[in-house]
């Protein structure tokens, strides 16, 4: 492959790895599969499905994605050690196109304070790890973490050595979002001028958004010859996030005459994919978010509207249809049939099996009886919500709330466990939501620290559904849960129980996978 002369930029999506690392963005296996399916439909080139050695749950989800998602390359991340590399390979090897991504930090601050390793030791470990990974897999990516703060000469030495050891992609991360576009361009230029054999591999950029420059830096890298961009949907990721996929792809498409490169992304899938990720993570995009925000194509000022009526190009550099935003507002009603419902669900970016579709359709009919107008957002909420509170192990059977001015709020509930237990509990609180949370904790024995509580109207009108998102801390880890109902106390209770159930399921599956991975043998 002569990557440098290639005019095709590969899109490497790391929503499921770097994105999922963002506080509160952890996803269940089903949610990850849903996102991976949407990314496949979007036609990204590579999906970084996770970090298999991080936890048994991560291993399982990377393996499931590798086994079920056809089309893109499926990549697993590994540190420079034989155990991580073996886990990564075991997780991705069933994909038709597997990749192992090996990384180690190279900057002085990371060498001295995080790794306590000398330059020579890091170089040796990088070379040995890439060589070992090459024994398993032909497609190897190497990342010198914090590359943008690494001495250029040393960076070039490491890059040259890993290319000789067999790396096929070398990724240059701006791990802490410190670089400026011109500076980042020069890093790529320096490597191209000083590393022999660099023309044989694909150069990649991985930028974080701490200074709001992740997209600009990634585009600068493309101008300097990078032919892979690492990014996440909606820009989710550690701290301020990663380079936003929809922004960088649309910049390349809209300014194609400037960049003279293309991507393989089906841009009409951008909006549906963004919605899937927002719904799964509960991280909703701001209204003014470029490309996928609610207002991204709204023209309010009279003078703009006048211009638009004469010629759309006066104020519109992209067409909303190009990013998949041609959707109608009022969609279906209570007389709509299953066929129309299925079609709409698919246009919204979801693939449901017959069982899931039936469950969602029944819920749609129930809601359509209560609610005058049904919008796309209602359908998305039904899909995201249909499993909430049903996967167990605890399920709410009854929830009764009493509250009012001058009375102490109280919640009485009955929970059923998948093992057959049924428990009733009552609790009081400062308000109805607090009372419901106390009762849930008393039954399940899981105590959470509530960090954030958000209520959002899914659509408009006084019969609109309310989505509650709770962010909580448990064992110094952050979890997010969300649920939708026309009754917000009920949404809150479902969201809270969703987090509790997630913690209990993770405990349970980690125990089981732990047994399995021990059986696999310590690599
Ligand atoms: O930001 C970073 O440096 C990373 C690497 C693992 C590629 O995420
Ligand atoms: Zn990163």
Question: For every one of its 523 residues, what pLDDT tens digit does the chain have, with 9 covering 90 and above?
Answer: 444 448 999 999 999 999 998 877 888 898 899 999 999 999 999 999 999 999 999 999 999 999 999 999 999 999 999 999 999 999 999 999 999 999 999 999 999 999 999 999 999 999 999 999 999 999 999 999 999 999 999 999 999 999 999 999 999 999 999 999 999 999 999 999 999 999 999 999 999 999 999 999 999 999 999 999 999 999 999 899 999 999 999 999 999 999 999 999 999 999 999 999 998 888 889 989 999 998 888 766 767 767 767 778 888 899 999 999 865 455 677 788 888 888 888 888 788 889 889 989 998 998 888 777 778 888 888 887 766 666 789 999 999 999 988 889 999 999 999 999 999 999 999 999 999 999 999 999 999 999 999 898 877 777 778 889 899 999 888 888 888 888 899 999 999 998 998 888 877 765 554 444 333 332 2
Cα(106) to centroid(ligand 2), Å = 14
What pLDDT, on the 0 to 100 scale, is given for residue 522?
29
The tens digit of pLDDT for each residue in 325-383 reads 865 455 677 788 888 888 888 888 788 889 889 989 998 998 888 777 778 888 888 88
- Position 56 scores a pLDDT of 92
Nearest alpha carbon to residue 270 among 291, 248, 296: 291
List the residue whose alpha carbon is closest to atom 1 of ligand 1.
Answer: 175
User: What local confidence, expressed as pLDDT, does residue 2 receive?
Assistant: 40
In 3D space, the residue among 114, 165, 110 whose CA is nearest the CA of residue 135 turns out to be: 165
The gap between the terminal CA atoms of the chain, to the nearest Å, is: 32
Question: With a 6 A CB cut-off, is 173 part of the ligand 1 pocket?
Answer: yes
Of the candidates 424, 465, 176, the one whose C-alpha atom is nearest the C-alpha of residue 184 is: 176
User: 121 CB contacts (<8 Å, ≥6 apart)?
Assistant: none
Phi, psi (degrees; rounded to nearest 5) at 471: -115, 125
pLDDT for residue 414 = 96
Choose one of 20, 53, 173 to mutate for the ligand 1 pocket test, by most ligand atoms within 8 angstroms of C-beta.
173
Burial class (CB in 10 A: 0-12, 13-18, 19+), 49: buried
Q: Is 103 in the pocket of ligand 1 (CB under 6 A)?
A: yes
As to burial, measured by CB atoms within 10 angstroms (0-12 exposed, 13-18 middle, 19+ buried), residue 190 is middle
pLDDT of residue 392: 82
Distance (Å, rounded) from C-alpha 295 to C-alpha 185?
Answer: 32
Q: Are 471 and 448 in contact (CB under 8 A)?
A: no
What's the burial of 277, exposed, middle or buried (CB within 10 Å: 0-12/13-18/19+)?
A: buried
| Whether 506 contacts 475, CB under 8 Å | no
Q: What is the pLDDT of residue 300?
A: 65
d(CA 334, CA 471): 34
Q: How far is the CA of 414 from the centre of ligand 1 (A)?
A: 45
393 prior amide bond cis, ω within 30 = yes
> Using the 8-state DSSP alphabet, how is residue 81 labeled?
S
Q: What is the pLDDT of residue 53?
A: 97
Which protein residues have a CB closer than 5 Å to ligand 2 (ion)? 18
Report the candidate in 227, 234, 231 with the shortest Cα–Cα distance to residue 270.
234
**Which pLDDT value is given to residue 514?**
43
């Amino acid at each position: 492959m002569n990557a440098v002369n290639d005019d095709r930029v590969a899109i490497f999506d790391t929503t499921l790895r770097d994105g999922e690392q963002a506080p509160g963005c952890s996803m269940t296996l089903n949610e990850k599969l849903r996102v991976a399916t949407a990314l496949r439909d979007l036609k990204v080139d590579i999906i970084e499905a996770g970090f298999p050695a991080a936890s048994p749950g991560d291993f399982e989800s990377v393996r499931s994605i590798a086994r079920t998602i056809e089309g893109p390359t499926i990549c697993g991340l590994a540190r420079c050690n034989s155990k991580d590399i073996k886990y990564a390979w075991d997780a991705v090897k069933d994909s038709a196109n597997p990749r192992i991504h090996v990384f180690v930090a190279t900057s002085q601050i990371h060498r001295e304070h995080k790794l306590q390793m000398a330059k020579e030791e890091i170089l040796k470990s990088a070379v040995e790890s890439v060589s070992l990974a090459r024994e398993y897999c032909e497609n190897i990516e190497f990342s010198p973490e914090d590359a943008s703060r690494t001495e250029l000469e040393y960076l070039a030495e490491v890059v040259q050595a890993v290319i000789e050891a067999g790396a096929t992609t070398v990724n240059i991360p701006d791990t802490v979002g410190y670089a400026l576009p011109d500076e980042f361009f020069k890093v790529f230029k320096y490597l191209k001028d000083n590393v022999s054999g660099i023309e044989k591999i694909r150069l990649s950029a991985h930028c974080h958004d701490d200074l709001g420059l992740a997209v600009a830096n990634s585009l600068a890298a493309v101008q300097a010859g990078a032919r892979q961009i690492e990014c996440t949907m909606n820009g989710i990721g550690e701290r301020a996030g990663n380079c936003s996929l929809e922004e960088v792809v649309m910049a390349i498409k809209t300014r194609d005459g400037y960049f003279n490169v293309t991507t393989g992304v089906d841009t009409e899938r951008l909006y549906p994919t963004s919605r899937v990720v927002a719904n799964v993570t509960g991280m909703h995009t701001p209204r003014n978010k470029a490309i996928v925000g609610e207002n991204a194509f709204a023209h309010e000022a009279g003078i703009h509207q006048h211009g638009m009526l004469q010629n759309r190009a006066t104020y519109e550099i992209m067409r909303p249809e190009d990013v998949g935003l041609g959707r109608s507002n009022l969609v279906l009603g209570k007389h709509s049939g299953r066929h129309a419902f299925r079609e709409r669900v698919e246009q919204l970016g979801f693939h449901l099996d017959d069982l899931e579709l039936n469950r969602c359709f029944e819920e749609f009919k129930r809601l359509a009886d209560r609610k005058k107008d049904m919008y796309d957002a209602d359908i998305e909420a039904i899909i995201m919500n249909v499993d909430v509170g049903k996967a167990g192990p605890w399920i709410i059977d009854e929830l009764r709330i009493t509250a009012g001015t001058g009375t102490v709020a109280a919640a009485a509930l009955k929970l059923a466990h998948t093992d057959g237990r049924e428990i009733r509990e009552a609790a009081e609180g400062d308000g109805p939501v607090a009372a419901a949370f106390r009762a849930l904790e008393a039954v399940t024995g899981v105590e959470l620290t509530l960090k954030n509580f958000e209520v959002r109207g899914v659509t408009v009108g006084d019969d609109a559904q309310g989505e509650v998102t709770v962010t909580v801390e448990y064992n110094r880890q952050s979890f997010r849960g969300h649920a939708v109902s026309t009754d917000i106390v009920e949404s809150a209770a479902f969201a809270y129980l969703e987090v509790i159930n997630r913690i209990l399921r993770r405990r349970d599956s980690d125990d089981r996978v732990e047994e399995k991975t021990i059986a696999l043998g310590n690599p």
